[in-house]
């Protein structure tokens, strides 16, 4: 048995969803029009054969004035029968030919719409701010792209044409039935209003369960992504938590199965009643016709009776289909809402209409933070939003109002100037704000107060793409794609030649190691590069940045997690990379930044000291204390 979480129950379908779904078909108006015309033609032609049956029975098979020579009261009119039979054969053939083209176009439009929806969602996610991804599980994002968009694909592909086709069939069939017999038509439709009301109720229930099902699928995707990745499986094995993770997965899987069973069974008894009624109605028609003809002989002719029951069976199928489709459509609205929910998230950091384009050739690398204040705002995920003040203010016992207000800022009134070509080091205790400074320069976040400038240009006035072109980043946790070394390197410069790849690899001290691999540059590095050592991954990342040739380089503790040998190799690879570039380096190991042109000491979100290594040691402040602590540890046996 499954349980519904409180946060799942609060999800409601937005009223504008239908309008937005319809708008997704707008680029394909011409094809949709052709499909609609084809549906009207094929659905309308479907009424012709039942009407021809009446003519066949009354005028051709049992013609009162046939060519029997008066031997019998009625006999076949063969010439007329041939013509009717030819029409009855030709119409299905024509309908089938048109139907093939209609099906092709309908599927083409539907699949293109889903393609556009996936593209729009992925494109939108690419421009979401970094904090969206730090507060949202990767599995949840993948679920929106795969499960939610995929879940509505069949509805978009098949249902739109099915609804129009069924509407045309119902209208044309009802018209033909009314022409043949009004009383029999009313008898056939007497319970339809009740069915329609029940359909709405069933549809709402299925829509709710469909939304809960997708939420649970997203949770399962998140668990799978977290626990079956290389990092996740290493963690569970090293802590012996496999059974715990199996239990988590099985619990979520049981919840999903319960929801899917409920979604499948909702309304099945209702549809069974509808199907039963539709099946027995022809028998009721025969009974009524027999009762009427018994009292008024010849009032309902055999041709009308056969044609009417044929129309009746033709009517019941689209009505039953419409009842089922309506519940499917309502269920799919929950999935559309989940997709639109992400599309409606504010990217926050966007280019201005007249944004400046920087080029590596024209950038000197002058970096300024001018009285910057910054704090991490509340998450931007749709389900986890919290009050901004509650999220950023961390009060502590004994804090007065001023202290709490200051603690609100991750960076508080930070000003620094790094001249072109300088190596600037950021040092300080963990959580002081060093990494945040490196996030502001490439505009991964926007400041709340002050400004960040590159060559005098506020980064908010520059295009995001051109900022990415002039800045290169090497982080402590190197990310490599699960592909070849060549393709990972080409990410820095897609049009690089083999000679440029090898030159970059040599500069990063990694070419000889690549040459030793069986496939050389075509070696698959594995998930997140797990086939390579930490030092090898770092040197590949450095080679990738060398290919990019940025004017500003950010090194975020690039060697802190490496052993001594790997650190020396990476340091040797960094030396040619830093030459002639403005470099901002974060380092816990102060020995790695002794030659920095300027060192900024960051503490509690502020720049507390600045100067060269010798100047800061002579001052005897925070830097000198940190250096003494590390130097003493290094001297221990």
Which two tokens mark 126?
Answer: 């690419």
What is the CA 76 to chain-centroid distance, rounded? 65
Q: Return the pLDDT at 269.
A: 63
Give the CB-side neighbour count of residue 538, counting CA atoms within 13 A: 26
The Cα 522–Cα 487 span in angstroms is 8
Q: What is the mean pLDDT of residues 410-439?
A: 89
Q: How do residues 595-631 score in pLDDT, each as one tens digit? A: 788 999 998 889 999 998 888 888 888 888 888 877 6
Q: How do residues 175-223 score in pLDDT, each as one tens digit? A: 887 877 777 777 767 766 766 666 666 766 766 777 688 778 777 777 7
SS3 state at 428: coil
Q: How do residues 340-397 score in pLDDT, each as one tens digit? A: 888 888 888 888 888 899 888 888 989 999 999 998 865 455 544 433 333 333 434 4
DSSP 448: S
Q: Return the pLDDT at 636.
A: 38
Q: For all residues of the chain together, what is the average pLDDT?
A: 77
Per-residue confidence band for 560, with pLDDT thresholds at 50, 70 and 90: low
The answer to whether position 441 is within a domain reads yes
Q: Return the pLDDT at 89.
A: 87
Q: Return the pLDDT at 369.
A: 94
Judge whether 370 and 415 are in contact, CB under 8 Å: yes
Alpha carbon dihedral 108, 113, 116, 117, in 10-degree steps, equals -140
Residue 76 — left, alpha, or beta (φ > 0 → left; ψ -120 to 50 → alpha)?
Answer: beta
The answer to whether position 388 is within a domain reads no
The answer to whether position 325 is within a domain reads yes
Judge whether 515 and 566 are in contact, CB under 8 Å: no
The Cα 235–Cα 224 span in angstroms is 14
Residues 445 and 335 in one domain: no
Q: Which of 379, 336, 371, 549 is nearest to 452 (CA)?
A: 371
The answer to whether position 458 is within a domain reads yes
Residues 148 and 288 in one domain: yes
Higher pLDDT, 482 or 295: 482
The answer to whether position 386 is within a domain reads no
pLDDT at 506 > cutoff 70? yes
Judge whether 334 and 213 are in contact, CB under 8 Å: no
Q: Return the pLDDT at 195.
A: 64
The Cα 318–Cα 587 span in angstroms is 70
Report the percent of the chain where pLDDT is more than 90.
Answer: 8
Q: Which of 235, 551, 301, 295 is nearest to 418 (CA)?
A: 551
Q: How do residues 307-325 score in pLDDT, each as one tens digit? A: 777 777 677 667 666 666 6
Residues 528 and 567 in one domain: yes
Residues 328 and 368 in one domain: no
Q: Return the pLDDT at 5.
A: 42
The Cα 370–Cα 460 span in angstroms is 13
Report the percent of the chain where pLDDT is more than 70.
Answer: 73
What is the CA 12 to chain-centroid distance, rounded? 19
Q: Which of 256, 310, 247, 178 is nearest to 3 (CA)?
A: 256
The Cα 79–Cα 56 span in angstroms is 11
Per-residue confidence band for 252, with pLDDT thresholds at 50, 70 and 90: confident
Give the count of domains, the chain. 2
Which two tokens mark 100?
Answer: 């093939």
The answer to whether position 259 is within a domain reads yes
CA quadruple 299, 303, 307, 310: dihedral sign: positive
Which two tokens mark 289?
Answer: 């016709």
pLDDT at 561 > cutoff 70? no
Q: What is the mean pLDDT of residues 442-453?
A: 91
Judge whether 131 and 376 are in contact, CB under 8 Å: yes
Residues 149 and 263 in one domain: yes
Q: What is the mean pLDDT of residues 70-77?
A: 59
CB atoms within 10 A of CB 12: 10
Judge whether 190 and 64 are in contact, CB under 8 Å: no
Q: Return the pLDDT at 9.
A: 40
Question: Could you tell me the CA-to-CA distances from 109 to 26, 102, 338, 437, 577 in Å, in that order?
Answer: 10, 11, 22, 47, 50
Question: Could you tell me the CA-to-CA distances from 469 to 100, 461, 462, 545 in Å, in that order?
Answer: 50, 15, 11, 11
| Cα angle value 39/47/281 (rounded, 5°) | 115
Q: Return the pLDDT at 109.
A: 84
Residues 332 and 425 in one domain: no
SS3 state at 557: coil
DSSP codes joined into one string, 335-388? HHHHHHHHHTS-------TT-B---GGG----EEEEEEEE-------SS----H
The answer to whether position 399 is within a domain reads no
The Cα 606–Cα 168 span in angstroms is 71
Q: Return the pLDDT at 419.
A: 92
Paired residues of 471 in beta bridges: 552
Q: Return the pLDDT at 140.
A: 77
Per-residue confidence band for 171, with pLDDT thresholds at 50, 70 and 90: confident
The residue segments making up the domain with residue 244 are: 6-343
Q: What is the CATH number of the domain that holds 96?
A: 1.20.1560.10
Residues 280 and 364 in one domain: no
The answer to whether position 588 is within a domain reads yes
- The whole-model pTM stands at 0.68
Q: What is the mean pLDDT of residues 488-494?
A: 86
Paired residues of 585 in beta bridges: 425, 555
Q: How do residues 456-471 score in pLDDT, each as one tens digit? A: 999 999 998 888 889 8
Residues 197 and 290 in one domain: yes
What is the CA 455 to chain-centroid distance, rounded? 37
Q: Return the pLDDT at 44.
A: 78
Residues 13 and 139 in one domain: yes
Residues 220 and 112 in one domain: yes
Q: What is the mean pLDDT of residues 69-83?
A: 67
| Cα angle value 469/120/380 (rounded, 5°) | 75
Residues 296 and 370 in one domain: no
Residues 542 and 574 in one domain: yes
Judge whether 581 and 551 are in contact, CB under 8 Å: yes
The Cα 301–Cα 183 span in angstroms is 14
CA quadruple 322, 323, 325, 327: dihedral sign: positive
Q: What are phi and psi of 13, to 5 degrees?
A: -80, 130
Q: How do residues 104-142 score in pLDDT, each as one tens digit? A: 888 888 888 888 888 888 888 888 888 888 777 777 787
The Cα 170–Cα 49 span in angstroms is 15
CA-based Rg of the chain, rounded to a whole angstrom? 36
Place of tokens 């009354």: 58
Residue 403 — left, alpha, or beta (φ > 0 → left; ψ -120 to 50 → alpha)?
Answer: alpha
Q: Return the pLDDT at 569.
A: 72
Q: What is the CATH number of the domain that holds 454?
A: 3.40.50.300
Which two tokens mark 376?
Answer: 């991490």
Q: What are phi and psi of 52, to 5 degrees?
A: -65, -30
Which two tokens mark 335?
Answer: 């999935």
């Amino acid at each position: 048995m499954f349980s519904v979480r409180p946060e799942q129950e609060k999800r409601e379908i937005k009223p504008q969803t239908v309008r937005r779904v319809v708008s997704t078909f707008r680029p394909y108006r011409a094809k949709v029009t052709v499909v609609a015309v084809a549906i009207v033609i094929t659905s309308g032609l479907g009424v012709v054969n039942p009407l021809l049956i009446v003519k066949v029975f009354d005028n051709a098979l049992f013609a009162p004035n046939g060519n029997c020579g008066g031997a019998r009261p009625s006999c076949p009119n063969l010439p007329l029968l041939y013509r009717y039979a030819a029409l009855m054969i030709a119409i299905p053939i024509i309908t089938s030919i048109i139907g093939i083209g209609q099906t092709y176009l309908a599927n083409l439009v539907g699949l293109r719409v889903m393609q556009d929806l996936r593209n729009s969602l992925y494109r939108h996610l690419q421009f979401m701010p970094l904090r969206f991804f730090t507060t949202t599980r990767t599995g949840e994002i993948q679920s929106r792209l795969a499960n939610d968009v995929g879940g509505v694909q069949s509805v978009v592909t098949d249902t739109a044409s099915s609804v129009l086709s069924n509407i045309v069939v119902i209208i044309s069939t009802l018209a033909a039935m009314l022409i043949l017999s009004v009383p029999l038509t009313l008898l056939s439709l007497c319970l339809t209003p009740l069915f329609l009301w029940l359909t709405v109720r069933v549809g709402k229930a299925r829509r709710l369960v469909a939304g809960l099902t997708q939420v649970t699928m997203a949770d399962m995707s998140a668990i799978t992504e977290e626990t079956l990745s290389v990092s996740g499986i290493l963690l569970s094995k090293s802590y012996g938590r496999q059974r715990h993770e199996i239990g988590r997965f099985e619990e979520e899987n049981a919840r999903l199965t319960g929801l899917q069973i409920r979604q499948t069974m909702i309304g099945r008894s209702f549809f069974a009643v509808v199907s039963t009624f539709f099946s027995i109605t022809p028998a009721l028609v025969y009974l009524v016709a027999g009762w009427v003809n018994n009292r008024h002989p010849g009032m309902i002719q055999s041709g009308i009776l056969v044609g009417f029951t044929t129309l009746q069976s033709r009517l019941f199928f689209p009505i039953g289909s419409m009842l089922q489709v309506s519940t499917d459509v309502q269920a799919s609205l929950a999935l559309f809402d989940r997709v639109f929910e992400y599309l409606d998230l504010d990217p926050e950091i966007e280019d201005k209409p007249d944004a400046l384009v920087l080029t590596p050739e024209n950038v000197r690398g002058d970096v300024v933070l001018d009285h910057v204040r910054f704090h991490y705002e509340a998450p931007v995920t749709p389900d986890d939003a919290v009050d901004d003040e509650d999220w950023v203010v961390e009060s502590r016992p004994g804090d007065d109002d001023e202290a709490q207000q200051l603690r609100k800022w991750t960076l508080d009134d930070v000003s620094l100037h790094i001249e072109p070509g300088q190596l600037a080091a950021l040092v300080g205790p963990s959580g002081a704000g060093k990494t945040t400074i490196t996030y502001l320069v490439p505009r991964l976040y926007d400041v709340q107060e002050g400004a960040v400038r590159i060559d005098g240009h506020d980064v908010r006035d520059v295009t995001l793409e051109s900022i990415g072109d002039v800045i290169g980043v090497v982080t402590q946790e190197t990310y490599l794609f699960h592909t070849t070394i060549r393709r990972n390197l080409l990410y820095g410069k897609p049009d690089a030649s083999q000679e440029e790849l090898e030159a970059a690899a040599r500069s990063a001290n990694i070419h000889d190691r690549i040459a030793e691999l069986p496939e050389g540059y075509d070696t698959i590095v594995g998930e997140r590069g797990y086939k390579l050592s930490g030092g090898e991954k770092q040197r590949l990342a450095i080679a990738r940045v060398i290919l990019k040739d940025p004017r500003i380089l950010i090194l975020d503790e690039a060697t802190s997690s490496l052993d001594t040998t790997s650190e020396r190799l990476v340091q040797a690879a960094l030396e040619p990379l830093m030459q002639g570039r403005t470099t901002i380096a974060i380092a816990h190991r102060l020995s790695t930044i002794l030659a920095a042109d300027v060192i900024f000491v960051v503490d509690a979100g502020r720049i507390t000291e600045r100067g060269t290594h010798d100047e800061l040691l002579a001052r005897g402040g925070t830097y000198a204390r940190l250096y003494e602590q590390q130097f003493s540890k290094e001297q221990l046996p």
